[in-house]
Amino acid sequence: MGAKLTPQILTTLERQAIEVPSWAYGNSGTRFKVYGTPGTPRDPYEKIADAAQVNKLTGLAPKVALHYPWDKVEDYTALRRYANDLGVELGTINSNTFQDDDYKFGALTHEDPAVRRKAVEHHFDCIEVMNATGSQDLKIWLAEGSNYPGQADLRGRQDRLAESLQQIYARLSGEQRLVLEYKFFEPSFYHTDVPDWGTAYAQVAALGERALVCLDTGHHAPGTNIEFIVMQLQRLGKLGSFDFNSRFYADDDLIVGAADPFQLFRIMFEVLRGGGLEEDSPIAFMLDQCHNVEDKVLGQIRSVLNVQEMTARALLVDREALAVAQKTGDVLGAQEVFMDAFYTDVRAELAAWRESRSLPADPMAAYRASGYAEQIAAERVGGVQAGWGA
């Protein structure tokens, strides 16, 4: 068998860039326990240093997303310079209106205009940070909703959300974008103010061109056909970004492609078909994960490699043969074309390709052999380890 990854496929793969989240490097856990780990970063600088390892060994992760105010520093220009010196850029700024007592009954949707104002101003602060970091995207995920039927005025909250988002959107510069992330439940259990892609779409469509939807793969009910949503948002020109992760039960934030590699393949196939990896594509790819029990840097390396592997397989789908089968009603023929690509193991070819680009053939092994984990465990003693929420 000859090479499966044609030069054309490799050109597309070369463009692939997956932003990593700063919070993946901090400690995390469940509501039962957060485990400390030797070497865990104690500040945003150390998180960026770890993220830079992922890019150095894979060539796939040139940006680091920040969470504000978890990643608050005195001088964002200095943080940006530090990141650049390590070969990465600062990416999406994630706002946070879910950790303040004032927000118990909502932030951008709150009944009280003073609370809404505070939440809007928090986003203005995020935009200031973006101006210093050079970030393109302001990502808004809202923990807003209610727990009991009758508790909240559903329509009123939707109207107030629209008004708050309008104020935030108006503050963005011409290059900056607002991406609104939906999630079907949690922390609220009865209703969530932005529960689905349709609501996110309706809200961003009312704002303007630079307002788009963020699709977090973990934020859907079990069995949801996510690739259909990918197709629809791309078709509408409103798919702004992905938060990749995988789930078994809820918003598990596990390693992307770990729970269901076939789902990741199907998603990447739709992304490609919609032009999502072409040069002018507006779609930003990000991980949104936590590594509660596994090594964090290795967890991130595994994640970006999983995305690359499933993208390579999706690129192998014989689109012409698929189109013929679809047009002629050849159900099983179409399925064969699709599954042939999914079942093709591309790992050896990707390893050889990496080597040809002066990257390690096996980034996981290279990280284990590098001594970096031992070095940070020895150096980062004392201080407070960063974690989800810090």
Residues within the interface to Mn ion (CB under 5 A): 216, 243, 288
Print burial letters for 326-344: b (CB count within 10 Å at least 16), e (below 16): eeeeeeeebeebbeebbee
CA 216 to CA 200: how far, in whole Å? 12
Distance CA 272, CA 324 (A): 18
CB 21 within 8 A of CB 289: yes
How far is 209 from 141, CA to CA, in rounded Å? 19
| Cα dihedral across residues 251, 118, 169, 173: positive or negative | negative
Query: Which of 260, 318 has the CB closer to Mn ion?
Result: 260
CB nearer to Mn ion: give 43 or 253: 253
Q: Is position 123 an interface residue for ligand PSV (rule: CB under 6 A)?
A: no
Q: Give the nearer residue to ligand PSV in terms of CB position, either 123 or 313.
A: 123
Task: Using CB under 6 A, pick the residue from 50, 144, 227, 243 that binds ligand PSV.
Answer: 243
In this complex, which beta carbon is closest to Mn ion, that of residue 243 or of residue 270?
243
Q: Taking Cα atoms as reference points, which of 88, 69, 180, 83 lies closest to residue 129?
A: 69
Shortest separation between residue 32's beta carbon and ligand PSV, angstroms:
18
State the Cα–Cα distance between residues 112 and 107, nearest whole angstrom: 9
Q: How far apart are CB 360 and ligand PSV at their closest, in Å?
A: 30
Q: How far apart are CA 330 and CA 352, in angstroms?
A: 36
x/- string (CB under 6 A) for ligand PSV, residues 247-286? ----x-----------------------------------
Task: Write down the least CB distance from residue 303 to ligand PSV, Å.
Answer: 15
Strand 63-67 to 20-21 pairing:
parallel
Decide which of Mn ion, ligand PSV, none touches 43; Cβ closer than 5 to 8 Å per partner kind: none
CB of 99 to ligand PSV, least distance (A): 10
Return the residue of 181, 193, 227, 309 that touches ligand PSV, per CB under 6 A: 181
Secondary-structure breakdown of the chain: helix, strand, coil percentages, each rounded to the nearest 5: 45, 15, 40
Asked whether position 141 contacts ligand PSV by CB under 6 A, the answer is yes
Touching ligand PSV, residues 57-116 (CB under 6 A): 94
Q: Is 183 in the site for ligand PSV (CB under 6 A)?
A: yes
Q: 41 with 47: CB under 8 angstroms?
A: yes
**Does 144 engage in binding with ligand PSV (CB under 6 A)?**
no
Residue 183: contacted member of Mn ion, ligand PSV, none (CB under 5 to 8 Å, by partner type): ligand PSV
Q: Which stretches of the chain bind ligand PSV, using CB under 6 A?
A: 94, 141, 181, 183, 216, 243, 251, 288
